Structure 1
Amino acid sequence: MEPLTDALRETLAVFGDSGEPRTTPEVAERLDLGRRSAYDRLERLAERDRLRTKKVGASARVWWRPEPRSKTAPEPGPELEEAITRISDGFFAVDEEWRLTYFNDAHASMFGGTRAELLGERLWDAAPELVGTAFETAYREAMETQEPTAVEEYYPPLEGWFRDIVHPSPSGLSVYFTDITERKVRERTLMRYERIVETVDDGIYVLDGDGQFTFVNDTFVSMTGYDDDDELLGASAAVVFGEDFGEERDGAEAEDPNAVAPEGRLHGADGESIAVESRVGRLELAGGETGRVGVVRDVTDRVEYERELERQREQLAAVTSLGEVANEITRAIVGQSTREDVETTVCEHLADSESYLFAWIGDVDAATRTVTLRAEAGVEGYLDDITISIDPDDDRSRGPTGRALRRGEVQTTQELETDSRYDPWRDHIESYDFRSSAAIPITHEGVLYGVLNVYAERPRAFEGPEGKRITQLGEIVGHAIAAAERKRTLLSDDLVELEFRIQGFLETLGLEAEPTGSIAFDHTVPLGDGEFLVYGTAERGAVDTVREIVDARPGDGEVTVYPEATPTGFVLRAIDPPVLSVVASHGGYVDGASIVDGEYRMTVHLAPSVDVHRIVDTIERAYPEAELRCHRRTTRSASDPRPVQRRLATDLTDRQHAVLSTAYYAGFFEWPRETSGTELAESLDVAPSTLHQHLRTAERKILDSLFSSPDEPLDDA
């Protein structure tokens, strides 16, 4: 006997040794072959006497493996017919006129009658429910084309899904149909879950026992930035979750093996990462393997929102701290503190707050043009090993501190690691653990006293309200230093005295005539915001000259003359006069100024600590013809009649001192009054009620100073 090929042996093995008959479609399905290929194999086995076959109905055929027998074995009898009838799947055959020629018992219920009644009846009459269905379409198409086909459809009379394999022949059709309802339910269920998985906004993935991806939905692919799931399937979860993912997962599972919820970052194909919230659970896989199914949610927006809330909370706390510092500075001013006290107070309160690490204040050494330390807190010797310059040609002037001093503007660093301005000192500052900084010029009335530097371990610390408040702090500190310097000058017996002369003063203003008589500028009252009231007297022949001087210098404002007095009195309102502004801002005062025989003379008193060169430079820039005739250290004489006046003045705030001085020099306390309360309020640009409040407070402080007992504390209200 000719030996069998592997393909024929494979086909023969489908039948085993039981002798149970099989239909051609059934063999084709088990071998995963087309029916024609299966039929060819079966026919070749039959030719080799390895199989028996029998036609059933118009064109259907069954095959079976015979038991060992002699070559003269009888043809199959009624038992084989009965076996074919009991095939579990449905089978029927029709002739070319659509008359039923055969059907087995598996699905006889699809026909409305007994075998005896139905055989020979047209298919459409025996099963009218087939009319108009996909089954009818497939049957007719197969009959017409003589090509095998298959169709799957729901069949209502049997309440299930069926797969029909239709095999045509010139004599009719053979139809093999299988109940696939369970498979369809599984497919529908799987499809429903797949649709859910693909439509949810969260990323879903499945890992096998080795931690490799076996499934990812479209959202997960999109979150990771890959083009399609093929790039992820089979890859390790560490590719997107990081190398520590397995350890974190195993550690969490030790506490809850079925609900692991780590939070971390998902790394994308482009190298970027996003914040995700992840939940992972165990999943039993085929073959007893345990995998993981996980859900990840992009929480970038939420994390950023929470970070923004945290930044706002930190900024609010910082703004509150800055407000407390400002209050402490105000109390320091009222407490007659020195400049050193003010600077120390500022640094200590900033360093003690939870918002900042440390702070320091420095000013400029005029000789070296470098920054020198005046006060620091929260740190020790920060400037010891570095040099900060204000020389624009020096690379060490390009940091925040140097720029703040040169430009007079606040300089902030919101992220230290990326700010190249710190590069000259990078090695020095890395040990101080700050992420952001602010360099705030300390100014008042146009005078630069130094720079305040504040450092925070938070990035972007000096944005929004905090940035605005820290900017204001420079002005507050500048005002406090100016007030401290003014009080020092008033109280100190040691002074620096400067005398200036300007020959031909009127000619420098473009005025031709010399005044007939002298002009004296007796008292100067600073009102704040660069505005001053200057009270003086002029002999009758010099009154017009006063008006001409004011007209020649529009910036000096306006003048009011009181002709009734002898000599004639006047008050000059000056706005941002350069000399008065710089002298007052350094705590000094003009002790006397006059114009005699066309020559302008002025005497300035300053505290010994004041930078005299800055004062001289400012006066010489304002009046190039000015000549410094005297620069000397002096001591107030024991017979100075004004020590009490100076002592009382230090108890007043700047505003109280300005209101009281203006009222006195304007004749408000004379009787009859030379200036009414309304006129006085208008000159100070305040409401009458505010004027009287300041006056009463100032009067009470002076009277308290005079009449209270030495141990009785004064009310600073």
Structure 2
Amino acid sequence: MVDEWRSIETELEGISDERSELEDAFARVSDALYTLDADLRYTLVNDRARSLFDPFAEDAADESASPNESENAASESVTGRLESLFGDAHERAFERQRQLSVEVHDDGSDRWFEARCYPDTSGVTVLVADATERKRRKRELEEGNRRLRSIFEDAHDAILVGDENEIVAANPAASELLGVDRSEISGRSLKEFIHDDHDVPSAWETFLERGRLRGSFSLVRPDGTERIVEYNAVANVLPGTHLSILRDVTEARQREAELERQRERLAALDHVNGVVREINDAVVTGSTRAHLERVTCESLADSPSYEFAFIGDVDVKSESISHRVEAGIDGYVESIPLSTDSDDPSGRGPAGKAIRTRTIQVSNDVFADPDFEPWREDAREHGYESAAAIPITYDSALYGILGITSERRNAFTDEERDVVAQLGEILGHAIAALERKRVLLGDDLIELELVIDDAVAMFDGPDMTGHSIWFDRVVRTGDEQFLEYGRTAAETFPLLEEIVECVPHWDEVSVLQRSAGDVKFELAITSPPMFGVIDAYGGYVEAAAIHDGEYTTTVHFPTGTDVRAVMDELTEVYPSIRTVARRQISPSSKSLEQLQAKLAEALTDRQRTALEMAYYGGYFEWPRDNSGEEIAESMDVTAATFHEHLRAAQHKLITTILDDAETAGEDATDDR
């Protein structure tokens, strides 16, 4: 029996030695390690496992308990926690005889553990590692990836990932920007969408050299639409893989361009208004037509809004345009082909059209306008992209053509076009005013005697055989509005009333005075073709009459008037008109000429109109043929305004006469 126990003791000692060696080996393992036998009973637990899972490990041992009792209590606590956390894994690994890894959260310590179970037929060996920090980093990484994915998917800007030849990832905004379904973007190259005018090779070389690049380019979608994009690209976010962020700035660029165009238009409008002011100043200071035209062209050419300007003469008969004034350029009109003939290519541009239509004509993109082809090389040479031609007109008279160029594309649009168009009217009105003043102040005049045969019959009027009507004076009362004062026999006046019904531009006739078988009348006229032409060329009707149905008139024009142009325009309206006489005349009285000159300078247009209408309307007769209120109504002003103009005109008239008389008296005294 003793021998038998010794044998068992020896075996136990051997086993004890093996266990000691295993425990020493386990102690050297840094991870928590424990083993279970085939019945899944715990056989070994290393110190690391005890420190992780023994809640009493940090507390002092119970002094009343023996070391074995404390160790047993600690072991039960450890194995209890291990069983609660990993017991299911032990069973599954041993049953399947396959390595098994599990991650478990310990609610008590709020920590994550990873257990790797290594089974064999004798039991299970388990390694346990604290995975809390790794799980935290993993969660942070997943959260970061989730945020990045959210940014990628929800970003308003287009995001592309890829290399030079292939896009590997694109967000929804990229699909919208490129105009391509998202599933069809991968595998395509961004270069396919970049406009040809962008230097892609140079940009790509710079991008790789610097590692990042910012800029903009025009992007062309498959449907042909273009968008302007700004890009921010970063190279090699992964080896050989690049990131590009594209932002659609089309609307922003368009708004910027529109704001810039508005600023340019406002500046141009200010410049044009400055030209108008200078023209008005030149008129007030009594400048000549040549001075007016020079001021207009120089003011336009000096403006930063325009390149150069010119004024040309128009010869309707020869269909040609010749030089008058130019500024900002020399010898321009003579160097380019210009015509008014619509069958000639050089007559289909803005100038030719403006002359034919008597309205402003523009080419806002001379390089795209097919009608501007004859002057395209000229535009390149002189650096302009827009051109405008403005007819210089007043009533039906054409005084020339004003040409303006600008380096801005679409310069003559909207308000700028309207204001520039007014230059032709303002300049035409100013030239006409100067011509009329020349008639009143000039030493010599051109006198024309004109006859319109069968004038009354032309309008299907009554038979005027043996009847006469005399027209003594024509007074302009407004734009296209005239009053004509005249007289006729009492028996002829009903025929005059019939003529008024027939002639479209004769509005109304009213009796001013009846006496001794005669009738003095006032005839209201709107847009009369003859008066409009005569007035436009600075002339006036000296006398007119109807005798036996023929209309005769004597007209005075300033010296230098293009009489042929006047007659051409009159013939277009009245084909039967003819010139009876043309002569050069001089005022008969020097003193009368001086008086008229002073009055022409002293009286305003409205004061002169009030004085003439009062005189020819019978306001100064006794009894009066017309009251102040009636004449004011004809002038389309209030009675107070009429009397104000009339009193001012009378004062200036009397002052002029008395000043002349006083001066004459002084001269006579000196002569004696």
TM-score of the two chains, using structure 1 as the length reference? 0.72
Quick one: structure 1 residues 234 and 635, their matched pair in 2 at CA, closer, same or farther if it must change by over 3 Å? closer
Opposite residue 189 of structure 1, the aligned amino acid is G
Tell me, in whole angstroms, the C-alpha distance in 2 between the residues paired with 1:238 and 1:511: 73
Counterpart check, 1:359 vs 2:301: no
Opposite residue 274 of structure 1, the aligned amino acid is I
Counterpart check, 1:335 vs 2:279: no
Tell me the SS of whatever aligns to 2:313. strand
Quick one: structure 1 residues 446 and 221, their matched pair in 2 at CA, closer, same or farther if it must change by over 3 Å? same
- Can you list the C-alpha shifts for 1:419-465, whole angstroms capped at 9, x where unaligned? 23221121222111112222222222233332222112222222232
From 352, 362, 381, the counterpart of 1:402: 352
> 1:469 aligns to what?
419
> 1:276 aligns to what?
230
Quick one: structure 1 residues 110 and 422, their matched pair in 2 at CA, closer, same or farther if it must change by over 3 Å? farther
Quick one: structure 1 residues 145 and 513, their matched pair in 2 at CA, closer, same or farther if it must change by over 3 Å? farther
From 546, 551, 559, the counterpart of 1:595: 546
Counterpart check, 1:688 vs 2:643: no
> 1:412 aligns to what?
362
> 1:572 aligns to what?
523
Tell me, in whole angstroms, the C-alpha distance in 2 between the residues paired with 1:700 and 1:145: 130
Opposite residue 378 of structure 1, the aligned amino acid is G
Residue 677 of structure 1 deviates from its aligned partner by 2.5
Quick one: structure 1 residues 623 and 295, their matched pair in 2 at CA, closer, same or farther if it must change by over 3 Å? closer
Bigger mean CA deviation after superposition, 503-512 or 659-668 = 503-512
From 272, 282, 290, the counterpart of 1:322: 272
Opposite residue 607 of structure 1, the aligned amino acid is P
> 2:405 aligns to what?
455
- Can you list the C-alpha shifts for 1:457-479, whole angstroms capped at 9, x where unaligned? 22222223222211222221221
Tell me the SS of whatever aligns to 1:554. coil
Counterpart check, 1:126 vs 2:84: yes
Aligned length: 614
Tell me the SS of whatever aligns to 1:384. helix
> 1:349 aligns to what?
299
Residue 220 of structure 1 deviates from its aligned partner by 6.7
Tell me the SS of whatever aligns to 1:416. coil
Tell me, in whole angstroms, the C-alpha distance in 1 between the residues paired with 2:655 and 2:266: 40
Residue 195 of structure 1 deviates from its aligned partner by 3.5
Bigger mean CA deviation after superposition, 197-206 or 360-369 = 197-206
Quick one: structure 1 residues 78 and 318, their matched pair in 2 at CA, closer, same or farther if it must change by over 3 Å? same
CA contact (8 A) 1:92 1:176 kept: yes
Matches within 5 A, 1:464-613: 464-514=414-464, 517-565=467-515, 567-613=518-564
> 2:568 aligns to what?
617
Opposite residue 297 of structure 2, the aligned amino acid is C
Residue 539 of structure 1 deviates from its aligned partner by 1.7
Tell me, in whole angstroms, the C-alpha distance in 1 between the residues paired with 2:191 and 2:294: 65
> 1:47 aligns to what?
none
Residue 315 of structure 1 deviates from its aligned partner by 1.4
CA contact (8 A) 2:26 2:33 kept: no
From 104, 116, 123, the counterpart of 2:75: 116
Residue 163 of structure 1 deviates from its aligned partner by 5.8
CA contact (8 A) 1:370 1:387 kept: no
CA contact (8 A) 1:494 1:633 kept: no
Residue 369 of structure 1 deviates from its aligned partner by 0.6
Tell me, in whole angstroms, the C-alpha distance in 2 between the residues paired with 1:493 and 1:324: 34
CA contact (8 A) 1:238 1:244 kept: no
Bigger mean CA deviation after superposition, 414-423 or 696-705 = 696-705
Opposite residue 550 of structure 1, the aligned amino acid is V
Opposite residue 147 of structure 2, the aligned amino acid is R
Tell me the SS of whatever aligns to 2:332. coil
Counterpart check, 1:188 vs 2:143: yes
> 1:712 aligns to what?
none
CA contact (8 A) 2:37 2:123 kept: yes
- Can you list the C-alpha shifts for 1:144-196, whole angstroms capped at 9, x where unaligned? 99998766676554545566667899999887665222343334334434534
Tell me, in whole angstroms, the C-alpha distance in 1 between the residues paired with 2:308 and 2:530: 37
Quick one: structure 1 residues 87 and 268, their matched pair in 2 at CA, closer, same or farther if it must change by over 3 Å? farther
Residue 366 of structure 1 deviates from its aligned partner by 2.6
Matches within 5 A, 1:83-482: 83-84=25-26, 87-88=29-30, 109=52, 116-117=75-76, 126-127=84-85, 156-160=107-111, 179=131, 180-181=134-135, 182-196=137-151, 199-202=154-157, 228=185, 231=188, 242=200, 245=203, 264-265=216-217, 274=228, 276=230, 297-482=247-432
> 1:30 aligns to what?
none
Tell me, in whole angstroms, the C-alpha distance in 2 between the residues paired with 1:111 and 1:432: 95
Quick one: structure 1 residues 78 and 173, their matched pair in 2 at CA, closer, same or farther if it must change by over 3 Å? closer
Opposite residue 496 of structure 1, the aligned amino acid is I
Bigger mean CA deviation after superposition, 678-687 or 617-626 = 617-626
Tell me the SS of whatever aligns to 1:657. helix
Opposite residue 487 of structure 1, the aligned amino acid is K
> 1:70 aligns to what?
none
Tell me, in whole angstroms, the C-alpha distance in 2 between the residues paired with 1:488 and 1:628: 23
CA contact (8 A) 1:224 1:266 kept: no
Bigger mean CA deviation after superposition, 222-231 or 464-473 = 222-231
CA contact (8 A) 2:367 2:376 kept: no
CA contact (8 A) 2:512 2:617 kept: no
TM-score of the two chains, using structure 2 as the length reference? 0.76
Tell me, in whole angstroms, the C-alpha distance in 2 between the residues paired with 1:614 and 1:635: 20
Tell me, in whole angstroms, the C-alpha distance in 2 between the residues paired with 1:162 and 1:701: 116
Tell me, in whole angstroms, the C-alpha distance in 1 between the residues paired with 2:294 and 2:199: 50
Comparing both structures, which one devotes a greater share of its residues to helix? 2
Quick one: structure 1 residues 510 and 243, their matched pair in 2 at CA, closer, same or farther if it must change by over 3 Å? same
Tell me the SS of whatever aligns to 1:418. coil
Identity %: 36
Bigger mean CA deviation after superposition, 158-167 or 428-437 = 158-167
> 1:43 aligns to what?
none
> 1:626 aligns to what?
577
Matches within 5 A, 1:20-35: none
Bigger mean CA deviation after superposition, 534-543 or 99-108 = 99-108
Residue 622 of structure 1 deviates from its aligned partner by 3.1
Tell me the SS of whatever aligns to 2:575. coil
Opposite residue 321 of structure 1, the aligned amino acid is H
Tell me the SS of whatever aligns to 1:562. strand
Residue 700 of structure 1 deviates from its aligned partner by 5.3
> 1:59 aligns to what?
none
Bigger mean CA deviation after superposition, 529-538 or 673-682 = 673-682
CA contact (8 A) 1:336 1:487 kept: no
Tell me, in whole angstroms, the C-alpha distance in 1 between the residues paired with 2:616 and 2:140: 104
Quick one: structure 1 residues 382 and 503, their matched pair in 2 at CA, closer, same or farther if it must change by over 3 Å? closer
Quick one: structure 1 residues 174 and 76, their matched pair in 2 at CA, closer, same or farther if it must change by over 3 Å? closer
Tell me, in whole angstroms, the C-alpha distance in 2 between the residues paired with 1:685 and 1:141: 113
Residue 221 of structure 1 deviates from its aligned partner by 7.8
CA contact (8 A) 1:112 1:126 kept: no
Residue 574 of structure 1 deviates from its aligned partner by 0.4
Residue 542 of structure 1 deviates from its aligned partner by 1.4
Residue 238 of structure 1 deviates from its aligned partner by 13
Tell me the SS of whatever aligns to 1:609. coil
Opposite residue 228 of structure 2, the aligned amino acid is I
Uncovered stretches (5+) of structure 1, i.e. residues with no partner: 1-74, 710-717
Over the aligned positions, Cα root-mean-square deviation in angstroms equals 4.7
> 1:41 aligns to what?
none
Tell me, in whole angstroms, the C-alpha distance in 2 between the residues paired with 1:94 and 1:705: 138
